[in-house]
Structure 1
Amino acid sequence: MRNVVGLVLGGGKGTRLFPLTAQRSKPAVPLAAKYRIIDIPIANCINSDINRVYLLTQFNSVSLHRHIRQTYNFDGFHGGFVEILAAQQTTEGANWYQGTADAVRKNLRYLQQPDIDYVLILSGDQLYRMDYREMLKTHQETGADVTIGALPVSREAARGFGIMRLDDSGQVRGFLEKPQTDKEIEMVRTEPSWIDERGIESKGRDCLASMGIYLFKRDVLLDLLSNNDYEDFGKEVFPMSIRTHQVQVHLFDGYWEDIGTIKSFFECNLDLAKAEPPFEFYRPDAPIYTRPRFLPASKLSGVQIDTTLIADGCLIDEGTKISNSVIGLRCRIGKNVTIKNSIIMGADYFESELASEKNQQDGVPHIGIGDNCVIENAIIDKNCRIGNNVTLTPGGETNADITNPELYVRDGILVTPKGVTIPDGWKNA
C-alpha cells in the first residue's frame, strides 16, 4: 500500500448537522462519547497500511486542525503523515473550494509525486470499518481505472442513495441519483443472484448504492479533473468517469452509516450504546484511534445506569438515572437527574473551583448539569451550563427554533448549541 495516498474530504459546511456545526466542521463533531467523526476514515487508512493521508478542510476548521495535530503523529522512519490541506489563496487561484472535485483539483500538485500510483478518496462523515487493501485487490484484478465502494440495499432504501447499474463483470454502466419510482429502480437494479455469487448474501436486496468511496488510478484522476471544471465527485465526476473509463464496483456488506443529519447522528450514537452495537470501536485487528487524553476514571456514586456509554473524567452524583444514552468527556451531572435517549457531549475542560464559586455567586450554573433535571430525546453540546430543576425535551415539537436560551428542535430531537447557559427551573413548555 506504499503507492496509495488517502484523500479525506472534510471541508463541507455541514448545514444539515446544525447547530452541532455552528462552531466546528462536521468531521470534528464528537462521536460515541470520546471520538470524533474524522477518526473513522483515518483509522481505516492506518489499519489498511495507508500511512499517507491528506485531509481537505475549509469551514470552521480550527478544532478539527487541533484534533489532527494532537492525535496523528507518525514516526520518522516510515514517512507517514496526516496532512491538512486547508483552502488557501495561491498563484493559480484565490477562490475557496467550490465542491469536492474542485477541492481535489486545487491540490493536484500534492498527488503528482513519483511514488503515487493510486488515490483513495474518502468522505469525512461516515461510520464504517473497511479494509482498503481488499478494495485495491479488486481494482487491480479487474484492471479498473476507477473502483467504487458499493453497498447492497433494498428498494425502499435505494430512494435515498445514488444507485449503480452494472454489467455481468461488475463494471458500472449507469448511475441514477435517488430513484423514486419503481420504473426508475428497475432501470438500475442488480440481480440478487449476482450479489450472492460474489460471496455476499443479497437477502432480497437488488440495488447497489454508492458509498462515496473511490479508488482512482492517479493518472486517471489527474486526467478527469484537468480537462473540465466539474465541482462535485458524486454528481459530476463519477458519472463522467462511467462514460469515459472502466469503473468497477467493490462490494461491501458491513455496517455503514452516513452521519449527515441530526436524526442520523442521534440514532447512530444511541445504537452504539446498545448491549450488542452494530459497530464495535475496538477490535484487536482494526481499532479506531483518537486523541489520547490524561483524564481520571469516571466517578459514579449511587446511580442507575442502563445501556449507556460513559467516557473518562465524568462525575455523576447519587440518585441519577441514565438509560439509553451517551455521556461524553468530563461530564458533571448533579443529584437526582434523569437522562433518557440523549447524548451529553461533556466539556472541553474542567472548571476550576475558584471559577465555579464565582459563577455560583453570580447566579451562573457550573459547566454540566445541575440537580433534579430531566433530559430526554436531546443532544447537549459541549460546555453547556444547565441549572437546577431544568427540563429539556422536544416538547412535542418536530422542528422549531427557540430563543432565550438558544435551542433548536430538529427531527423531534432537542439540540443545545455549544456553550449555552440554561437557568434554574427552565422548561420547554
Structure 2
Amino acid sequence: MRDTVTVILAGGKGSRLEPLTRDRAKPAVPFGGLYRIVDFVLSNCLNSGMRKILLLTQYKAQSLDRHINLAWRNYFCRELGEFIDVVPPQQRFDDSWYQGTADAVYQNIYAIEREEPRDVVILGGDHIYKMNYGPMVEFHRKMDADITIGALRVSRDEAKEFGVIQADLDHRIVGFEEKPSEPKTTPDDPDVALASMGIYVFNARFLYECLCDDATYEDSDHDFGKNIIPAAIKTNRVFAFPFLDENRKRDAYWRDVGTIDAYFEATMDLIDVDPQLNLYDAQWPIRAHQPMLPPPKFVFGSEGGPSIRRGEALDSIVCQGAIVSGGRVHRSVLGPNVRINSYASVEDCILFDEVEVGRRCRLRRVIVDKGVQIPPETEIGFDPIFDAQRGFTVTESGLVVIARGEQLVNTGETVSVVR
C-alpha cells in the first residue's frame, strides 16, 4: 500500500446534525463517548497499512484539526514517507470554496501528484464502519480497473438515499444512478439494491484526467457520484467491490449518522449486551485520543428511606474521568469528565465531555453537548412541546439536544435556554 495515496473528504457542513455541528465539522462530532466519527475511517486506514493520508477540510475545521494533532500524528513517521496532513482549501485555481467532492480533490491535485502514487483511494470521513481497504485495492489492480467502487447491499427503500449501482456477473458496473426514486435491484434479489459507499479506488493517471476534464465544465456539479462516475462507466473499466466487513458480526455494519436521530440510534446500539458494532475487537482496533484522566468513579450507596442515594450506571458506557456521585445512569453514554450529582436520573442519554448534571435532575432521551451544566432539579425529555417552548432543540421523534455553549437558567418557574 506504499504506492497509494488516501484522500479523506472531511469538509462537509453536516447541517442535518445541527446543533452538534454548530461549532465543529461532522467528522469531529464525538461518538461512543471516547471517539470522534473520523476515528473509524482513520483506524481503517491504519489497520489496512495505508500511511499516506490527505484529510481535506473546509467548514469549522479547528476542532477536527486539533483532534488529528492530539490523536493521530504519532502514528506516522515523516522520515519513512508516512504522513497524515490536514489540508484546508488551497484556492489554487480561484477564490471559491470546494464546489463538490470532485472539486475538493481537484484543488489538491498537486499534493497527490507529488507522491507519485499508482492508485488513489478516496474515502468519506463521516461514516461508521470497519473495512480493510487492501483487498479492494488488490481487486482493482487485478481487474485492471480505472475506478473501483465499494458496494453495499441495502433494501430497495434505503437505496433511494444512495448512488445505486447496476453490475454484471463479473462485477463490472453497467449503470449508476444518484439517489433514484425507483432504484434498480440486484438480479438475485428484487428487494435488494447495490449502493455506493462513497469509497473509490482510482488509477492515479485516470483520476487526474477525469478531474481536469470535469473542471472545464461550468454546468457540472463537480461531484464523483453525479458527474465523474456516470461519465466513466460509458467508456472505461469501472467495477464494484462488495463490502467486506471487519466487524465480525452476522450482519454487515455500515452507518451514515447524518441526522440527529440516526446518530442517537447508532450510539444506543453500542450499549446493547451484544452490540452490532464491536469496539472491543483487538484484531481491528479503533483508535482515538486517550486523555490523561483518572478512571471513572461511582460513589454513595445508601439503602432505604424516602429516597435512595446510589451512584450506579447500568447498561451504559462510562469514560475516564467521569464521576457518578449518588445518581443513577441507565442505558446512556457518558463522555470524559462528566459528573452526575446525587439523586439525579439519566436514562437513554448521550452526554459529551465535561457535562455536569445537577442534583435531582431527570433526563430522558437527551443529547447534551460539551461543557453544558444542567441546573439542579431540571427535567428534560418528558414533554417535547414544553421542551421546545423552553428553547431546546427537539427532533420529530421527541429527542432533545442541548448545544455547546447554551446556558440553562432557572427563571424561578422553569429552566430555559439562554444563548
TM-score, with structure 1 as normaliser: 0.86
Where do residues 395-406 of structure 1 align in structure 2 (5 Å cutoff)? 395-397=383-385, 406=391
1:4-153 maps to which residues of 2 (within 5 A)? Answer: 4-73=4-73, 74-90=76-92, 92-113=93-114, 115-153=116-154
Q: 1:376 corresponds to which residue?
A: 364
Q: Within 5 Å, which residues of 2 pair with 1:254-403?
A: 254-301=252-299, 302-318=310-326, 320-347=327-354, 368-393=356-381, 395-397=383-385
Partners of 1:422 and 1:125 in 2: how far apart? 30
| 2:186 paired with 1:190 | yes
Q: Distance in 1 between matches of 2:167 and 2:91?
A: 41
Relative to structure 1, is the Cα distance of residues 216 and 11 closer, same or farther in structure 2, using a 3 angstrom cutoff?
same
CA RMSD of aligned residues (A): 2.1
Which stretch shifts more, 207-216 or 106-115? 106-115
* 1:89 shift after superposition: 3.7
Answer whether contact 2:298 2:312 (CA < 8 A) is retained: no
Q: Partners of 1:83 and 1:401 in 2: how far apart?
A: 41
One-letter amino acid of the counterpart of residue 253, structure 2: Y
3-state SS of paired residue (1:88): coil
The answer as to 2:406 corresponding to 1:408 is no
Q: Within 1, Cα distance between the matches of 2:340 and 2:19?
A: 23
Please say which of residues 290-299 and 107-116 is displaced more in the overlay: 107-116
> If the length of structure 2 is used for normalisation, what is the TM-score?
0.88
Which of 187, 192, 217 is the matching residue for 1:206?
192
Q: Shift in Å at residue 274 of structure 1? A: 1.2
Aligned partners of 2:97, 2:340: CA distance in 1, in Å? 42
Which one of the candidate residues 242, 248, 261 is aligned to 1:251? 242
| Contact preservation (8 Å) 2:128, 2:255 | yes
**Residue 164 of structure 2: SS of its match in structure 1?**
strand
How far the C-alpha of 1:269 sits from its partner, in A, is 0.5
Identity over aligned pairs, percent:
35
Q: Tell me which amino acid in the other structure corresponds to 1:407.
A: F
Q: Summarize the Cα distance change of 1:426–1:271 in structure 2 as closer, same or farther, 3 Å threshold.
A: farther
Question: Does structure 1 residue 226 correspond to structure 2 residue 205?
Answer: no
Whole-Å separation in 2 of the counterparts to 1:244 and 1:103: 24
Alignment deviations for residues 361-409 of structure 1 (CA, whole Å, 9 cap, x no partner) = xxxxxx51101111111110001011000011162359x9656xx4211
* 3-state SS of paired residue (2:334): strand
User: Quick one: distance in 1 between partners of 2:110 and 2:207?
Assistant: 12
Q: Deviations over 1:87-119 (max 9, x none)?
A: 1343x3221112211111100001113531111
CA displacement, residues 140-166 of structure 1 (integer Å, 9 cap, x when unaligned): 121111111111112232233221111
2-structure distance, mates of 1:343, 1:295? 20
1-structure distance, mates of 2:194, 2:385: 36
For this pair of structures, how many residues does the alignment match? 390
Q: Contact between 2:56 and 2:88, CA under 8 Å: does it hold in 1?
A: yes
SS at match of 1:243: helix
SS of 2:289's equivalent in the other structure is coil
- For the structure 1 residues 52 and 394, does the alpha-carbon distance in structure 2 shift closer, same or farther, using more than 3 Å as the test? farther
**Kept after mapping to 2: 8 A contact 1:391/1:426:** no
Aligned residues of 2:384 and 2:394 also touching (Cα < 8 A): no
